[in-house]
Amino acid sequence: MLCSSKKPSKEESKAEFNQTFKCCTYHPDIPNFLVGGILYDMTDEITDGKQRIIKAIESKISSRPNGVYAPNNYVAMYSSGDAFGHADSMGCPFYNKQNSNCSIWKYRDSVCSTWFCKYQQNDLGQIFWNDVEEYLAEIQSNLVDYILIQLGFSTASIMTFKQHGHLGFRHKILTSEEQDSLPMSEEDYNKTWGTWAGREIELYKSSYDIVANMSKSTLRSINGVESEFYENKIQSSYLNKNMLPPILKLNTLKKSNVRPFKKEGLDFIEISLFNDENAKHLPVKVQFPASLVEKFNGTKPWSDVINNSSFAPRSI
């Protein structure tokens, strides 16, 4: 699905995003340290987002020590139908409709920061960004657990927090408060927050402080051996994403995918490579010396063309 600059026809409606929210028909699970970053941020660009976060915290509906997560009734509706990109009711509470942008852009979670409606190299590009999202989600989860332990929460409490949000909700029976989007009862709220009840903003800022002052060695130890696994997986998918087709042929009729430029006094050409003509996919852009481009005639691999050259193509 894609953003459309015009109102889609009835036939296209299933393929195009809602004009109001676009792809922002998703309530993110914002971890506690990112919530703290938003609360600390004094720049004008985050003012609207900060107000929205404070409102979510004060509502006592979906804010917990692990972060501001999607309410369980929202997740129940989101996971049970074809709402993404279509339903206004699924609109992100941090999306500014008037400005058509995200009010907490700098502090997006692992899902929002890695989601795109177009990818270079089609499916290969999507695989790469899915791998990145998995890695960031793992780091995000591990950091939240570490923070909560540092702040004095028990393992049992932490496991209870994990039952909320997109990853934690597993079609459990909703409480009456959750069904009607009501605040938690005072008893449940005090049990959830413990000694931090009434000091929620302080907890979120403390969470940010823990991460902001964390050393690289501590971060790596928190994420353990899985960190190396994900890094290798991402490196592999990145190399696959940027792999050029074995044989290249310059399309002399399509001038829009060629951009001449000079580099260190030499003539270069930047070429946009399309696997197909589908506008839903972004091209991979590579740069070659102009003297080599004319030799890409579709008869032999590009590697043979540059075999006797010291130049290596660079994907950008």
Q: What pLDDT score does 252 carry?
A: 65
d(CA 258, CA 261): 10
Q: What pLDDT score does 6 carry?
A: 43
Strand partners, 258: 271
Number of Cβ within a 10 Å radius of residue 286: 18
Q: What pLDDT score does 179 carry?
A: 79
Q: What pLDDT score does 277 carry?
A: 45
d(CA 109, CA 94): 12
Q: What pLDDT score does 11 carry?
A: 45
The burial class, CB within 10 Å (0-12 / 13-18 / 19+), for 128 is buried
Strand partners, 102: 95
Q: What pLDDT score does 295 carry?
A: 79
d(CA 90, CA 78): 7
3-class DSSP assignment, residue 284: strand
d(CA 22, CA 209): 34
Closest CA to 24 of 88, 110, 77, 118: 88
Residue reference for tokens 């296209």 = 12
d(CA 141, CA 115): 18
Q: What pLDDT score does 278 carry?
A: 46
Residue reference for tokens 């400005």 = 99
271 torsion bin: left (phi>0), alpha (psi -120 to 50), beta (else): beta
| pTM higher than 0.85 | no
pLDDT by residue (tens digit) across 233-275?
888 877 676 666 777 776 666 656 677 888 878 888 777 765 5
Residue ranges, the chain, pLDDT below 70: 1-21, 81-83, 85-87, 120-122, 169-172, 239, 241-244, 250-257, 273-284, 308-316
| Two structure tokens written together for 204 | 């979120």
Q: What pLDDT score does 120 carry?
A: 63
Residue reference for tokens 């998995």 = 134
Q: What pLDDT score does 7 carry?
A: 44
Q: What pLDDT score does 238 carry?
A: 74
Q: What pLDDT score does 9 carry?
A: 44
